[in-house]
Each structure stands twice: as C-alpha cells, then as structure tokens.
Amino acid sequence: EVQLVQSGAEVKKPGESLKISCKGSAYRSTSHWIAWVRQMPGKGLEWMGTINLGDSGTRYSPSFQGQVTFSADKSINTAYLQWSSLKASDTAVYYCARLGASGTGDHYGLDVWGQGTTVTVSS
Amino acid sequence: DIVMTQSPDSLAVSLGERATVNCKSSQSILYSSTNKSYLGWYQHKPGQPPKLLIYWASTRESGVPERFSGSGSGTDFTLTISSLQAEDVAVYYCHQYYSSPFTFGPGTEVEIK
C-alpha cells in the first residue's frame, strides 16, 4: 500500500527551530512531487508548495516563501519541512501529500496524504 | 495566483437527499492541449487527512462511491452527492492544480438536516 508517514506532534517555543518529516513507501517517490499543506486551527487548507524528491526542485507559495524551507533525501524517500525561527502563528497541522501523476506525467491531484503533524508553538 | 471560491459556506441536507457544492476559479483552469480542467475535490473529516474524491473535474478516484460526482469546465465546477449518507458529513474543498501556487477553495461544510 502506498503510504506517506509523517513525524510526530511537536511542541516548541517561539524562536526555536524545527524540522518535520514525511516518508514515502511502496512507490517510486522520485517520480512524484510532494506537497505541503497547512491547516491552522479552525481554518481551511492552505497550499504551501511542493518539492520534487528526485532533484529537490522546489516551488513555494508566495505566502510561505522565505518563511519555511523544503528539503528532501531521495535515498530514504523522505521530504522535510523546516523552520529556523518559529512563531506562535505557525501553530497548525501540517500535511504532506503526493501530487499524483499519470503515466504521461499528467497531474491529477493530491492522491496520497500523510496523517498530519501537529505543531504547537507557545511560550 | 488563481483564487478559488466556493458556495455555499455550509449546507444542511436530509439523509438520502442531494447535496451540491459549487466552486469557481478566478481564471480558466482548462488545459487546452489535454482538454482537462485541473480541478480536484477533497473530503475532509476531523482528525483525518483530506481524501481525494474527484480529479480532472469529473473523474472519480478509485474506491470513491458512485454517489459522488463532479462536473464543470473552465472556471465553474460542481460537486454533487446524489444521496447524502451519514458518513458524508465533512468539509469539502475544491483545489486547482493548473497553475502554481495550487490553491484551495475555502471549504464547504456539509451537515445532516
């Protein structure tokens, strides 16, 4: 079964750094883009951007450019989302998801999702 | 950025009745070379990750019940639940993956009347 497994919940203080992970299994992850999606408490889904596990190419939403960093280690099929200095407003659930692609490379949406990582930033 | 809007914000439907959610994009998300609109619909229940229901505006994802259907092209789209079941209570989001950043609609909450 194709899966994305995310790292566990985190509780941090403002100003601290954090790196969360998303590990793919049972598919050739280097052929897909991994997206990061934020859901703040009581709010909707927000697109943060994507990373290609094959070449670590990234595309950030303008709202998140400079606020977070995507990285990847293709040898272990894992994508990462990191912050250098957390703020209380970073408190949210963060999902990774695979951008599905057909045999011709045509994208068809986010077809596999991680379980979500809850990040709480509080002094 | 392409802005996605949805209507209504919420709706309450009786069990077995039809539920309709509308989605509009601020510009066309129809890719002319494939004649596909790059629009997906997701179901999101509390405590769970979102689930892809529909892609390319009208293609049902494998395993999704037939009561879920999608229609529309270009800028106007609809998700229909033909006969609402108790397990369909959720927030439904549309999502364009035509142009980066791939934006979501604000969501529509579907409840039982």
Of the pLDDT bands very low, low, confident and very high (cuts 50, 70, 90), residue A92 is very high
Q: Find all residues with CB under 8 Å of A28, minimum gap 6, and list them.
A: none
Mean pLDDT of B19-40: 96
**Which residue of A32, A33, A43, A47 is the best one to mutate when testing the B interface, meaning the one whose CB has the most B CBs within 10 A?**
A47
DSSP A40-87: -TT--EEEEEEEETTT--EEE-TTTBTTBEEEEEGGGTEEEEEESS--
Contacts A67 to B, Cβ<8 Å: none
* pLDDT classification of A105: cutoffs 50, 70, 90: confident
Contact across the interface for B59 and A46, Cβ inside 8 Å: no
Of A44, A59, A99, the CB nearest to B106: A44
- Band of pLDDT at residue A29, cut at 50, 70 and 90: low
* pLDDT at residue number A25: 85
Label residue A96 exposed, middle or buried (CB < 10 Å: 0-12, 13-18, 19+).
Answer: buried
pLDDT digits 0-9 by tens, B50-107: 999 999 999 999 999 999 999 999 999 999 999 999 999 999 999 999 999 999 999 9
d(CA A39, CA A88): 14
- Tokens 């108790």, residue located: B86
DSSP secondary structure code for residue A120 in this structure? E
Compute the nearest-CA separation of B68 from chain A (Å): 16
Neighbouring residues of B93: CB distance < 8 A, sequence distance ≥ 6: A44, A45, B6, B41, B42, B44, B50, B104, B105, B106, B107, B108
- Whether the pLDDT of residue A50 is over 70: the answer is yes
Q: State whether residue A41 sits within 8 Å of chain B by CB.
A: no
pLDDT above 90 (res A1): no
The alpha-carbon gap from B14 to the nearest alpha carbon of chain A, in Å, equals: 25
Tell which of A4, A51, A108, A118 to mutate to test the B interface (max B CBs under 10 Å): A108
The mean pLDDT value of chain A amounts to 94
pLDDT number for residue B113:
97
pLDDT at position A113: 98
Q: State residue A103's pLDDT score.
A: 79
Chosen for mutation from A51, A60, A93, A113 (greatest number of chain B CBs closer than 10 Å) is A113
Closest chain A C-alpha to B25 CA, distance in angstroms: 15
pLDDT band at A83 (very low <50, low <70, confident <90, very high): very high
User: For A115, left (φ over 0), alpha (ψ -120 to 50), or beta?
Assistant: alpha
Distances (CA, A) of B101 to A5, A26, A73, A123: 24, 27, 23, 32
- How far apart are the C-alpha atoms of A20 and A94, rounded to whole Å? 9
pLDDT band per the 50, 70, 90 thresholds, residue B26: very high
Q: Rounded to 5 degrees, what are φ and ψ at B62?
A: -55, 135
Cα pseudo-dihedral B56, B31, B107, B4, rounded to 10: -170
Confidence at residue B91, expressed as pLDDT on a 0 to 100 scale: 98
